[in-house]
Structure 1
């Protein structure tokens, strides 16, 4: 192969890898965007909800007969699908017991509309989840093993015979599942009565109450749904990367960067923000060491914030 062909192949490979991993990033960003867009809660525990999704999928796969029933290829994705409803219930309980105390109508009389209390509360939840996972599961790396992670589709030839790209099968399946979840969520928000109540609760909670909408219930559904979506993204990520109790710290900043890039209050924008982060992350390794991936992400993030502060799809007046 010539140097030009090697360069072309490397760039194409990085683009494909960026799109595939970016779809998973986009899904986890959407979970956070749903909570922030509807409830206006800055949730520092979102990365740890993702971590719980990873562990939930891991133990469902290995300890509840899913592996023996569905096999090593389909089984991990069945476990991920089952982890979603489990974390939905967990998010529902967390909101009912804790989050509801510092959100919704009751924050109108609180300083800074309750944001100070929300920050401290969600940070405390994050610390409890991290240390609780450390006590229960230990610090060793785990992964949701699937044979697809070591296999790839080869696309060749392209325009030159020696040029080919390889698509990791586990990443392809995870990306397809992520896009499917995003489409289902978008249809639910835009086409269903529940989606209308969520949008109304986001736009004007007080007026929604007068219209007969239970704002507290809408917020609880949004929080539980955002938790479940991010947990599913975590489970999909676990089929490609190992994880540990503090893995949420590595991704919560990525989530917030994706939400801001896409435009605060825009769920679909958050998905494209996550996709952008995946592309920048993978393309950066062509010219920089792997250790500088996150630094590259935030250099790009700062450029976008300077040039377009509202993000790709955000508007000054727009809400979810």
Structure 2
């Protein structure tokens, strides 16, 4: 990360000299988070807050030119929504109610190579605002120089999401439920665990976490496997789908799922079963100490029984 610049809006500084990266362009990050949300990792990535009608909040964002050339960067808010498919960005500079409340201290900046600037974002909520959660994004956009001989112009942008809850009193609680575990094996042999997640709280959720498997064939256990779910709106239901290692053997397992959004964490477990894979294909998974030991004992028992029968026949 670039070193901290002096406090205040509109600060421009130079990043430490490093190796040139011709593929890099423009980056953006959130500088400020409320003290009340210092333990909320989500609030360090996005502007997440709850305000009463008539209140004003401010945040600083940092925009970096990590390319090798000077760039003109446009700064502006644009609309967004949360749908069944997740957090959806509106095209270009589309507006909504929240964007009309957002002010940036500058609409554009020019940054030399390896420079960054800090921009002040103010959200002024009118006293007449109705209760509810609203969504938007603050974009930093750069475009290639126009080429008269080309019909296409490359435009790139990066942004900071905004999740703003408005209403009297305290913030609506965030909560969710996990249930309906199931397991399957896809046609290419990949085992997959799925679970249903339902948002039962009053805020949109960005869920991530880990999946663990235990109590498998011969007492096997494995994991963790990384889990991520698209933004889940209030009252919406989504499906967590976790592909696993193809060497995991068929049989019954206990799946334990740990998910969190911000400081809200929930755990759930269920039984899943995988089927349709040969033992030979599963033999590459480690560890298999109990399974291997059981096979060895079986072979040894058969050999001893055969030797005992042979000696009895020889004596007769």
The structure whose RCO (Cα within 8 Å, separation 6+) is larger is 1
Do they superpose with TM above 0.5?
Answer: no
Larger radius of gyration: 2
TM-score by length of 1: 0.20
